[in-house]
């Protein structure tokens, strides 16, 4: 039987002076993640393809007194991933947390989806997470944390033709397990995934008609979309020492959608 820590429980959620990279930080959940990490005490490196949209996120991080660095990066390019991590270490001297949030969603019938369409989703949602994890693991110290943003659509279906998206998110859950197996014991890096349900975001704004009211809300025990701060709270748990005995797992945050 191991002895318990004497650190006060709320202090275990603090991220003071740690350095986090958030991909896909130009909009939606990426902005919420960056702000939450900063509020918990971390300096934040912000990455996205739309560099001009990172200014507002940077201002949010700096408004709570934390350092911020904005870097243009396409995570589907391993060279960009390496450059992003190099920029983070040059600015802050370390990387402690990676939030693999960059992703795209599509809804194309499988009989009409082209190879280029399918590959483009896999390249960003799955390959991009792998390239970022590789680059960060090379510089991370024991006690670091990688959080992959998967989806409930890696675990279930929801009425739209999303073969590429669902495949990428299911693959990310498998990648999470394997990287945890490789790196937790040997390198001291924990690797976990979040599986969000439906949250108010740019992605849900793109759904046509009454899809949310007809297909999502009736399957969700909470009978509503999630709020970004509810997902951010789970992210801080996985990023911090509060989850020091959690690795290789996928945490659904979906309002009960998976129970129906």
Active site (catalytic) residues: 165
Q: Which residue has the tokens 């970004």?
A: 228
DSSP letter string over 162-197? -HHHHHHHHHHHHHHHHHHHHHHHHH--EEEEEEE-
Biggest CA-to-CA distance, the chain: 58
Chain centre to alpha carbon of residue 180:
16
Instruction: Find, among 129, 116, 113, 31, the residue nearest to 76 by Cα.
Output: 129
Q: Residue 21 belongs to what H/E stretch?
A: strand 19-23
Coil, strand, or helix at residue 147? strand
In angstroms and rounded to an integer, the radius of gyration of the C-alpha atoms of the chain is 18
Compute CA distances 166 → 103, 106, 124, whole Å: 12, 10, 13
Rounded CA-CA distance 186/204 in Å is: 39
Rounded CA-CA distance 59/255 in Å is: 31
């Amino acid at each position: 039987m191991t002895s318990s820590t004497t650190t006060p429980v709320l202090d275990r959620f603090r991220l003071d002076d740690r350095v986090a990279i958030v991909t896909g930080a130009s909009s939606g959940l990426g902005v919420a993640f960056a702000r939450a990490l900063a509020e918990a005490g971390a300096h934040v490196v912000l990455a996205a393809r739309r560099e001009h949209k990172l200014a507002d996120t940077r201002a949010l991080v700096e408004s709570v007194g934390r350092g911020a660095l904005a870097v243009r990066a396409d995570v589907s390019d391993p060279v960009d991933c390496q450059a992003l991590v190099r920029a983070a270490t040059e600015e802050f001297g370390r990387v402690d947390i990676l939030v693999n949030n960059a992703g795209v969603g599509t809804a194309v019938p499988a009989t009409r989806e082209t190879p280029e369409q399918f590959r483009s989703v896999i390249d960003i949602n799955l390959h991009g997470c792998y390239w970022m994890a590789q680059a960060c693991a090379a510089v991370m110290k024991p006690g670091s944390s990688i959080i992959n943003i998967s989806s409930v659509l890696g675990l279930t279906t929801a009425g739209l033709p999303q073969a590429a998206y669902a495949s990428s998110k299911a693959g990310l859950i498998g990648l999470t397990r394997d990287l945890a197996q490789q790196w937790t014991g040997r390198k001291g890096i924990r690797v976990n995934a979040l599986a969000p349900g439906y949250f108010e975001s740019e992605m849900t704004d793109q759904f046509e008609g009454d899809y949310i009211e007809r297909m999502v809300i009736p399957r969700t025990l909470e009978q509503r979309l999630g709020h970004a701060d509810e997902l951010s709270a789970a992210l801080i748990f996985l990023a911090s020492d509060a989850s020091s005995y959690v690795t290789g797992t996928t945490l659904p945050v979906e309002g009960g959608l998976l129970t129906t």
